[in-house]
Structure 1
Amino acid sequence: MNNFNYRQILMFLIFLIVSINLMAQGTNVMIRAKAKDAKFIGSSIGGAKILVKDAVTGKILSEGLTTGSTGNTDKIMNQDWKRNQPLSDENTAGFNAVLDIEEPVFVTIEAYAPWNKKQATVMSSTQLWVIPGKDITGDGVVLEVPGFVVDILSPQTHERISATNEIEIKANIVMMCGCPIAKDGIWDASQYEVKALITSDKGETSEIKLNQADKVSTFSAKTNLDKGLYEILIYAYDPVTGNTGVDKTNIIIN
């Protein structure tokens, strides 16, 4: 009788251990962020912050950053895509979310990108069911992130400039994946409209066109301003894709 009890206990413990191990096997969901009209957002620009949430409760089930390369330029930008043909490879940026779930869960996936460029960060999201043990791999869930990253290089924030001096307005502009913009390049500078809107403390606004300088991804123009306080807003706009980006700064002319 005692041996029978021991066997029962042993079988129960084995069943319990196997059950725990099965439950511990997380479900993998590969998540990637891809810049609109460009490549994947990865380590070279700080990645995309990924949050996977229970869509009903809002509980965060997994979070992290996409890491890896921006992907194969020729495959992504030049070749015709075919159904079920992967755009990514083993080096392409992504975040593998491992979800410990025991039943199907409806999730919200959010990507904030590019994570290290706060003035340019865009949130892109989607929702889907994740089923225990049914991994989502390959390209996985791809979230499109529209826009440009615009960084004003000159003038500097709160810089004091004499009214007698010519002011150089300069900005660095790249795609959301960090891909460069250049004359006659894959991302052609001549396709984009880049302008500075200069607004005085009197509410008067002037507009100046910026042209690509000798350096890739750099746009500039020169102007003179009267004494006063000014806000400078530089925007980039692509009339073909609708991509946009903005950065602002403030200066003092004395």
Structure 2
Amino acid sequence: MNYGSLTRLIGTGFLVLLSSVSAAFTPEPSESEIESTSHYNDPLPTTVLVRVVAHRSLVLGHDVGGARVTITDVATGQLLASGLQQGEPGDQTQIMRTPHLMDEPLYSGRPAAAFSATLELARPTLVEITAEGPLAYPNALQRASKTVLLIPGHDLTNDGIVLHLYGYLVQVESPKPGEPLIAKEDVMLRASVRTLSGALVRPHSDWDSRKVHIYAELLIGDRIVERLQMFYAGEKSRFEAPFFVPLSKDAPDGISVRVIAADVATGNFGMGTAQYPVLSERLRSRKN
């Protein structure tokens, strides 16, 4: 055996000896360490707060029926929580007029409607959070959802997860939907326009009607026969436009009216509809 081989053999033996000694003196974990690691897989309570708001407006509160919120495990499809958002629409000055830094709360500085649930999570969980509202106005119901990764023990509070619903509440108020109209009469159409949170749309307000295209369409069947530009009526959020009722022979199944509010700058659009039977003008003369 030459000198190099002998040197390598001695070095290998020395490393084996050191490994054996090191293994012999490795301390066993204490009972407290074993106890702490045994809880790693225990579920942890995790609070999730959700806020449903009207896009570029306030929170959906009890004035508009609030919103329905569901939280679903994306991987399993299991429903983890569901309930209603109820409460106040929030402080208009704080939400609409006060400048904010990125990490400052926008909706939670003062009381505002929210939905809150505490989940028992044992692992990071990808969830889908879905909101529907406003519940008091089924014809204007909108839906939005987000997928969010939740980490056990890490609460989502303050503003929470914010879901934006787009649209307007548009309601035809006069003539009352379903009210018979007399042919050739001059009728004043009136409708109200609000944000989905119930805030009034009117000139020179935070929701300035001058920036919103508000108009009505008169239909016979599926055909538009007239388009009406609607103007602010000087009260609350009401808008109006006059129109002539067509002849009953031209509208044997009556007429329909749809009022549209469209703001392309914000992406908010809303529509209200109403149907009216049309009576012959001779019926009115006989009655008189």
TM category (shorter chain) comes to 0.7 to 0.9
2:95 to 73, 76, 89: 76
Q: Helix, strand or coil for the counterpart of 2:138?
A: coil
Stretch deviating more after TM superposition (98-107 or 129-138): 98-107
TM-score by length of 1: 0.86
2:165 to 138, 145, 149: 145
Deviation of the 1:90 alpha carbon: 5.0
Structure 1: where are the runs of 5+ without partners? Answer: 1-14
Identity of aligned residues (%): 26
2:262 to 209, 212, 237: 237
Instruction: Say yes or no: does 1:199 pair with 2:219.
Output: yes
Q: Deviation above 4 Å: which 4+ runs of structure 1?
A: none
- In structure 2, the partner of 1:57 is 76
Report the Cα distance in structure 1 between the residues aligned to 2:245 and 2:185, rounded to whole angstroms: 9
Q: Helix, strand or coil for the counterpart of 2:57?
A: coil
2:129 to 104, 109, 117: 109
Deviations 1:185-236 (CA, angstroms, capped at 9, x unpaired): 1111211111111111373431001111121111111111212221111110
Structure 2: where are the runs of 5+ without partners? Answer: 1-34, 280-288
Report the Cα distance in structure 1 between the residues aligned to 2:125 and 2:260, rounded to whole angstroms: 41
- In structure 2, the partner of 1:158 is 178
Instruction: Say yes or no: does 1:135 pair with 2:160.
Output: no
Deviation of the 1:141 alpha carbon: 0.2
- In structure 1, the partner of 2:14 is none
- In structure 2, the partner of 1:249 is 274
Instruction: Say yes or no: does 1:100 pair with 2:120.
Output: yes
Deviation of the 1:125 alpha carbon: 0.7
The one-letter code sitting in structure 2 at the alignment partner of 1:60 is L
User: Which of the pair has more CA radius of gyration?
Assistant: 2
**Count of residues paired in the alignment:** 235
Superposition CA RMSD, Å: 2.0
Contact 2:140–2:169 (Cα < 8 Å) also in 1: yes
Instruction: Say yes or no: does 1:177 pair with 2:202.
Output: no
Contact 2:181–2:245 (Cα < 8 Å) also in 1: no
Report the Cα distance in structure 2 between the residues aligned to 1:222 and 1:128, rounded to whole angstroms: 49
- In structure 2, the partner of 1:36 is 55
Contact 2:90–2:110 (Cα < 8 Å) also in 1: no
TM-score by length of 2: 0.76
Report the Cα distance in structure 2 between the residues aligned to 1:90 and 1:235, rounded to whole angstroms: 33
Report the Cα distance in structure 2 between the residues aligned to 1:167 and 1:97, rounded to whole angstroms: 51
